[in-house]
C-alpha cells in the first residue's frame, strides 16, 4: 500500500499523474463533486443563515466509499482538485466526508500535467482556502434558490406547465434568442445601390489585363445611381494614383472550450454537444489535454515541442513565440488551453475524431507561428466627365506565416459587407495609364438584420457576458431545447427582386434579377413558449434576467473569496428582495396565455385570437362562453403567435381533408401529435417531410401505404401467429414482441434469433418477466 493518496477530479488525469509521481503515491479520482444540496426543502435552512444540507448523491456513494477505505489505509492524503472555486470546494467536501482536518491536510495545485509542474506542486503544499470554499457555497446556494423558487412560479402561472424551468443561466440564454428574433421581425431593410466597374487594358509588357473597381459611394436611390452612370457616359478613365501599404495578420489564440465549439461549428458543422463528445474521446485516449477549460495558456513543455515541430516541418522563420492573454475576466484558468498532448502526432487515425483532432493540431501549431505579411494595393481611377473617382484594391500575400496551416473562420455577424467581396490580387498598373471600361453596374443591395444565433455563437455570447462555465455550455444549450423554449432548425429563404443599372457601350439599360434571402441553417429560433416565459420573467424578475446579473454577483463572490464579504450576508442581501418578488408574483400575477387578437371572423363576426393553449400554440375562433363551442386549430411548427397573419390562421382550419378513396376506403389527411399523417383503413401513415398536408394529393399517399407495408414485412423475422409472438428486427438488433411488450433476447442467442422456436421464445419472455431489466433508478424519495 502506497504511503500517499492523491485525489484529483478526473480519472484520466489520475492515471497520468500516477506515472509521474512513482511508487510512493497512489492517485485516485473523485469524479467531480461528491456532495450536493439535498433536493427536499431546497437543501437550505434559510432562516438558519442559509445553512446548507449536503448529501452524497446516490451515484457517488461508491466513489466515496472507495476513497474512504483508501484514505484510512494511507499515511497522508493530498487534495489535488482543480485550482478554481469549484475545485477548492470539492477538496473541502472531501475533507468533510473522509474525516480529514482542513487545517492540516495538504492541498496542492497545478495548471498543467507535466513532470516539473507536478513535482513543484508536491514540494509546495498549502492549506484549504476556506474563503474560496464559501464563495463556491454562495454560488451553489444562490443558483439553487433562483432555480427552485422561480420554476414553481412558472408551474403556477403558465397555461402550459409541464416541467417548465428557470435559472440564472438558462433563462438569460433564452432571453438572448427571444430578443434577437424580435429584432429580426422588427427589422426594416433599406436598399442602396453599389457601383462596380470592370476594366481592361495592357500592362507594361503589353499583356492583357482585367480587373474590377468600386464606385465612390453607395447611392440611396435608383435615380441617384442612374444620374452617376449618366455622368460616366463617354468618359475616359485613367489611373490617377497607386498606393502600396504593408499589412499583417496574426494567428488566433489556442483553443478554449468555447472557441473550440465555435470553430468546430463553423468549419465542421458540429453541434456543441458533438464537439464535446469527440473531444472527451480524444482526452480519454490521451491525445489532447483537458477539454473543459477557459485558459489560452500553453505549458513550457508544450511550447518547446511546438517550436520543434514548426522548425522541422516549416523552418525556423515560421516560428514566433507568443504568449496569449485571456480577454475574459471571469476565466478561472485551472487548466491549459486545449492542445494535442504530443505535437508529433499530426493527425488521428480514428475517423470519428480525426477532423476535430486535425483542427486542434492546426490551431495549436498556428498559434506559435509567424505573422502573415501582406501587401495591400489601392489604385484610384479618374473619370474624365465628373469629379468622382473609382477605387480598385487588391491584396497580395508576401509571406504566408501561420496561414500555411490555419485560418480562423468568422461568424456571420462579424463579417462586414466589404470583406464579403473578397479581395484578390490586382494586376500591375502604372500611374496615368489609360483604361478601357468594359461595363459599369449599379446593383441594388439590401441591409440585413443580425443573424439568428447558432449553438456556438450563443456560447460565444454567453461567455462574453460571463454567464455559464466550460462544463455547462453544452448542457445549457441542450436544456433550453429540451424544455422547448428554443428549437434548432432551418429556415427557407424568400425570393427577392433587385434592380440593376448597366452602363455598357455608352448605353444605360435597366434590369431586375432575383436572389434568395433570409435562408438560415441550423439556427436557434425561440418557440412561443420561450417568448411567453421570457416576457413573464422579464416583467416580474428583471434583476435576475439582467444581462449583467451574473457579472455583478461574480464580483461579490470574488469579494467573499478575498475575505471582504461574508457569504451568508451576501446571500441574504440577494434573497430578501428576490423572495418578496416571488411571493408578490404568486399572489398577484394573472395566468399567462400570450393572447393576440388577429381580427374578426368574416362570417360570424366572432373574434379570432392566437394564444397558448394547454397543448401548445393555437388559433381560437369564438369565446368559451359563447353558446356555440369555439373552433380550434393548432399552429404549424414554423408559425408563431407573434407573427401569424389572419390569412395564415384561416388556412389552418382547412384540415382534416378527405382526399378520396384508396382500395375502397377514405384517405384522410390531418396533423396529429406526431406531425402530418394520412389515415386509411384504421392505419396511420406519417407524411414525408416534403409533403404538405394542405396540398398533398391522393396519388402521393398510395406509395406511402405500400412503403410501410414492405417495411413492416422486412422488419419481421418470424411470427408465431397463435401465441401472438413476433421476432422483429430493431435498431439495436433482433428482439421479441408479444402483444405490446418488447423483450430483449439474451446475448448468446442474438446471432441465431431467426432459428428460435416458439418454446425458446416463450422461455425468454418468462425469463425477462421474472427478472425485469433494471430501469434507470428514478430519483429516490427519502422518507423521514
Partner DNA sequence: CAGTGAGCGAGCTTCCGCTTGACTT
| Residues 76 to 135 in contact with DNA, rule: CB under 7 A | 82, 84-86, 90
Q: State the Cα–Cα distance between residues 60 and 58, nearest whole angstrom.
A: 5
Q: State the Cα–Cα distance between residues 493 and 23, nearest whole angstrom.
A: 65
Q: Indicate the residue among 259 and 476 with the shorter CB distance to DNA.
A: 476
Q: Is 324 in the site for DNA (CB under 7 A)?
A: no
Instruction: Restricting to residues 7-36, name those near DNA by CB under 7 A.
Output: 9-13, 29, 31-33, 36
* Part in contact with DNA (CB under 7 A); list of ranges 48-56, 242-250, 429-437, 776-784: 776-784
Cα–Cα distances (Å) from 764 to 26, 42, 344, 719, in that order, read 46, 45, 53, 15
**Omega before residue 259 within 30° of 0, cis:** no
Q: State the Cα–Cα distance between residues 362 and 326, nearest whole angstrom.
A: 20
Instruction: Give the chain's count of helices (H) and strands (E).
Output: 22, 30
Q: Is 543 in the site for DNA (CB under 7 A)?
A: no
555's grid cell: 464580483
Residue 81 contacts residue 31 (beta carbons within 8 Å): no
Q: Which of 103, 186, 204, 624 binds DNA (CB under 7 A)?
A: 624
Cα–Cα distances (Å) from 571 to 45, 85, 152, in that order, read 12, 17, 20
What are the respective helix, strand and coil percentages of the chain, to the nearest 5? 40, 25, 35
Q: Which of 110, 485, 575, 677 binds DNA (CB under 7 A)?
A: 677
Q: Is 139 in the site for DNA (CB under 7 A)?
A: yes
Q: State the Cα–Cα distance between residues 579 and 532, nearest whole angstrom.
A: 22
Q: Which of 434, 658, 730, 766 binds DNA (CB under 7 A)?
A: 730
Q: Is 246 in the site for DNA (CB under 7 A)?
A: no
Q: State the Cα–Cα distance between residues 77 and 97, nearest whole angstrom.
A: 13
Instruction: Restricting to residues 273-292, name those near DNA by CB under 7 A.
Output: 280, 283-284, 290, 292
Q: How far is the CB of 730 from DNA (least distance, A)?
A: 2
Q: Which position among 237, 270, 283, 290 bears the catalytic label?
A: 290
Residue 311 contacts residue 296 (beta carbons within 8 Å): no
What single DSSP character describes residue 652? G
* Part in contact with DNA (CB under 7 A); list of ranges 47-55, 167-175, 192-200, 637-645: 167-175
Q: How far is the CB of 501 from DNA (least distance, A)?
A: 52
* Part in contact with DNA (CB under 7 A); list of ranges 425-433, 504-512, 573-581, 731-739: 731-739
Q: Is 530 in the site for DNA (CB under 7 A)?
A: no
Q: Indicate the residue among 404 and 737 with the shorter CB distance to DNA.
A: 737
* Part in contact with DNA (CB under 7 A); list of ranges 136-144, 435-443, 517-525, 562-570: 136-144
162-201: buried (b, 16+ CB within 10 Å) or exposed (e) per residue?
Answer: eebbbbbbbbbbbbbbbebbeebeeeeeebbbbbebebeb
Q: Is 54 in the site for DNA (CB under 7 A)?
A: no
Q: State the Cα–Cα distance between residues 444 and 446, nearest whole angstrom.
A: 7
Q: Which of 48, 420, 587, 732 binds DNA (CB under 7 A)?
A: 732
Q: State the Cα–Cα distance between residues 235 and 383, nearest whole angstrom.
A: 6
Q: State the Cα–Cα distance between residues 76 and 2, nearest whole angstrom.
A: 10
Alpha helices in 316-454 (DSSP H): 351-366, 417-420
Q: How far is the CB of 12 from DNA (least distance, A)?
A: 5
283's grid cell: 482526452
* Part in contact with DNA (CB under 7 A); list of ranges 67-75, 297-305, 341-349, 737-745: 737-745
| Three-class secondary structure of residue 25 per DSSP | strand
Q: How far is the CB of 426 from DNA (least distance, A)?
A: 50
Residue 78 contacts residue 7 (beta carbons within 8 Å): yes
Instruction: Restricting to residues 626-665, name those near DNA by CB under 7 A.
Output: 632-634
Q: Is 607 in the site for DNA (CB under 7 A)?
A: no
Q: State the Cα–Cα distance between residues 276 and 285, nearest whole angstrom.
A: 14
Q: Could you tell me how many residues of this chain bind DNA (CB under 7 A)?
A: 85
Q: How far is the CB of 680 from DNA (least distance, A)?
A: 12
Q: Indicate the residue among 69 and 783 with the shorter CB distance to DNA.
A: 783
Q: How far is the CB of 508 from DNA (least distance, A)?
A: 58
Q: Indicate the residue among 140 and 404 with the shorter CB distance to DNA.
A: 140
* Part in contact with DNA (CB under 7 A); list of ranges 180-188, 571-579, 645-653, 735-743: 735-743
Q: Indicate the residue among 153 and 405 with the shorter CB distance to DNA.
A: 153
155's grid cell: 408551474
Residues 548-587 as x/- pattern, contact with DNA by CB under 7 A: ----------------------------------------
Q: How far is the CB of 79 from DNA (least distance, A)?
A: 14
Instruction: Restricting to residues 171-230, name those near DNA by CB under 7 A.
Output: 171
Q: Is 471 in the site for DNA (CB under 7 A)?
A: yes
Chain mean position to CA 76: 43
Q: State the Cα–Cα distance between residues 244 and 398, nearest whole angstrom.
A: 13
DSSP 544-557: HHSTTHHHHHHHHH
Q: State the Cα–Cα distance between residues 166 and 179, nearest whole angstrom.
A: 17
Q: Is 744 in the site for DNA (CB under 7 A)?
A: yes
Q: Indicate the residue among 93 and 319 with the shorter CB distance to DNA.
A: 93
Q: Indicate the residue among 497 and 590 with the shorter CB distance to DNA.
A: 590
Q: Is 476 in the site for DNA (CB under 7 A)?
A: yes
Q: How far is the CB of 521 from DNA (least distance, A)?
A: 26
Q: How far is the CB of 703 from DNA (least distance, A)?
A: 16
Q: Indicate the residue among 66 and 75 with the shorter CB distance to DNA.
A: 66
Q: Is 673 in the site for DNA (CB under 7 A)?
A: yes
Query: Is 290 among the residues known to form the active site?
Result: yes
Catalytic residues: 290
Amino acid at each position: 500500500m502506497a504511503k500517499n493518496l492523491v485525489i484529483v477530479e478526473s480519472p484520466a488525469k489520475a492515471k497520468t499523474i500516477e506515472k509521474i509521481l512513482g511508487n510512493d503515491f497512489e492517485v485516485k479520482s473523485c469524479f467531480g463533486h461528491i456532495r450536493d444540496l439535498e433536493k427536499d426543502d431546497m437543501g437550505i435552512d434559510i432562516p438558519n443563515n442559509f445553512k446548507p444540507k449536503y448529501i452524497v448523491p446516490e451515484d457517488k456513494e461508491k466513489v466515496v466509499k472507495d476513497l474512504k477505505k483508501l484514505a484510512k489505509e494511507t499515511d497522508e492524503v493530498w487534495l489535488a482538485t482543480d485550482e478554481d472555486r469549484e475545485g477548492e470546494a470539492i477538496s473541502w467536501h472531501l475533507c468533510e466526508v473522509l474525516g480529514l482536518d482542513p487545517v492540516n491536510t495538504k492541498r496542492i495545485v497545478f495548471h498543467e500535467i507535466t513532470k516539473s509542474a507536478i513535482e513543484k506542486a508536491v514540494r509546495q503544499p498549502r492549506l484549504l482556502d476556506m474563503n474560496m470554499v464559501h464563495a463556491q457555497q454562495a454560488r451553489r446556494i444562490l443558483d439553487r434558490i433562483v432555480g427552485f423558487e422561480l420554476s414553481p412560479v412558472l408551474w403556477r402561472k403558465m397555461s402550459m406547465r409541464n416541467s417548465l424551468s428557470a435559472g440564472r443561466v438558462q433563462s438569460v440564454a433564452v432571453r438572448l434568442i427571444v430578443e434577437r428574433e424580435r429584432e429580426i421581425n422588427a427589422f426594416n431593410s433599406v436598399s442602396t445601390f453599389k457601383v462596380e466597374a470592370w476594366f481592361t487594358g495592357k500592362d507594361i509588357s503589353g499583356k492583357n489585363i482585367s480587373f474590377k473597381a468600386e464606385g465612390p459611394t453607395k447611392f440611396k436611390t435608383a435615380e441617384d445611381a442612374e444620374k452617376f452612370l449618366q455622368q460616366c457616359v463617354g468618359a475616359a478613365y485613367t489611373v490617377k494614383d497607386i498606393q502600396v501599404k504593408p499589412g499583417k495578420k496574426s494567428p488566433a489564440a489556442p483553443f478554449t472550450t468555447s472557441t473550440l465549439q465555435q470553430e468546430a461549428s463553423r468549419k465542421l458543422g458540429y453541434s456543441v454537444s458533438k464537439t464535446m463528445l469527440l473531444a472527451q474521446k480524444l482526452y480519454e485516449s490521451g491525445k489532447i489535454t483537458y477539454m473543459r477549460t477557459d485558459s489560452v495558456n500553453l505549458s513550457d513543455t508544450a511550447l518547446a515541442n511546438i517550436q520543434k515541430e514548426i522548425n522541422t516541418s516549416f523552418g525556423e522563420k515560421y516560428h514566433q513565440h507568443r504568449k496569449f492573454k485571456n480577454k475574459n475576466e471571469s476565466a478561472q484558468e485551472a487548466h491549459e488551453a486545449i492542445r494535442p498532448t504530443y505535437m508529433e502526432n499530426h493527425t488521428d487515425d480514428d475517423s470519428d475524431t480525426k477532423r476535430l483532432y486535425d483542427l486542434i493540431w492546426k490551431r495549436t501549431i498556428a498559434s506559435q507561428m509567424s505573422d502573415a505579411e501582406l501587401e495591400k494595393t489601392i489604385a484610384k481611377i479618374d473619370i474624365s466627365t465628373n469629379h468622382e473617382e473609382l477605387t480598385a484594391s487588391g491584396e497580395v500575400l508576401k509571406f504566408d506565416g501561420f496561414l500555411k496551416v490555419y485560418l480562423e473562420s468568422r461568424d456571420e455577424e462579424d463579417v462586414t459587407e466589404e470583406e464579403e467581396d473578397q479581395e484578390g490580387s490586382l494586376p500591375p498598373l502604372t500611374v496615368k495609364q489609360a483604361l478601357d471600361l468594359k461595363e459599369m453596374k449599379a446593383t441594388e443591395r439590401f441591409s440585413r438584420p443580425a443573424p439568428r444565433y447558432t449553438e456556438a455563437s450563443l456560447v460565444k455570447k454567453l461567455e462574453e457576458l460571463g454567464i455559464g462555465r466550460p462544463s455547462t455550455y453544452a448542457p445549457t444549450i441542450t436544456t433550453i431545447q429540451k424544455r422547448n423554449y428554443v428549437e434548432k432548425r432551418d429556415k427557407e429563404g424568400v425570393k427577392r427582386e433587385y434592380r440593376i443599372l448597366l452602363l455598357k457601350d455608352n448605353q444605360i439599360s435597366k434590369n431586375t434579377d432575383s436572389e434568395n434571402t433570409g435562408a438560415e441553417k441550423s439556427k436557434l429560433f425561440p418557440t412561443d413558449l420561450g417568448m411567453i416565459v421570457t416576457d413573464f420573467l422579464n416583467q416580474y424578475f428583471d434583476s435576475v434576467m439582467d444581462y449583467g446579473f451574473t457579472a455583478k454577483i461574480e464580483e461579490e463572490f470574488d469579494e467573499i473569496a478575498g475575505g471582504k464579504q461574508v457569504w451568508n450576508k451576501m446571500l441574504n442581501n440577494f434573497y430578501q428582495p428576490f423572495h418578496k418578488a416571488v411571493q408578490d408574483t404568486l399572489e398577484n400575477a394573472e395566468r399567462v396565455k400570450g393572447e393576440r387578437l388577429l381580427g374578426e371572423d368574416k362570417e360570424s363576426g366572432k373574434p379570432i385570437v392566437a394564444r397558448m393553449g394547454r397543448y401548445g400554440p393555437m388559433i381560437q375562433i369564438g369565446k368559451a362562453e359563447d353558446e356555440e363551442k369555439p373552433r380550434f386549430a393548432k399552429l404549424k411548427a414554423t408559425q408563431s403567435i407573434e407573427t401569424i397573419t389572419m390569412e395564415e390562421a384561416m388556412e389552418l382550419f382547412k384540415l382534416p381533408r378527405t382526399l378520396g378513396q384508396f382500395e375502397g376506403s377514405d384517405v384522410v389527411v390531418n396533423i396529429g401529435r406526431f406531425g402530418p399523417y394520412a389515415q386509411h383503413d384504421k392505419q396511420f401513415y406519417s407524411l414525408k417531410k416534403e409533403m404538405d398536408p394542405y396540398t398533398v394529393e391522393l396519388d402521393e399517399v398510395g406509395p406511402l401505404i405500400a412503403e410501410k407495408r414492405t417495411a413492416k414485412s422486412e422488419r419481421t423475422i418470424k411470427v408465431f401467429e397463435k401465441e401472438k409472438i413476433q421476432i422483429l428486427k430493431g435498431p439495436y438488433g433482433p428482439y421479441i414482441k408479444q402483444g405490446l411488450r418488447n423483450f430483449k433476447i439474451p446475448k448468446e442467442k442474438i446471432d441465431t434469433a431467426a432459428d428460435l422456436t416458439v418454446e425458446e421464445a416463450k422461455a425468454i419472455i418468462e425469463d425477462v418477466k421474472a427478472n425485469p431489466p433494471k430501469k434507470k433508478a428514478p430519483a429516490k424519495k427519502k422518507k423521514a
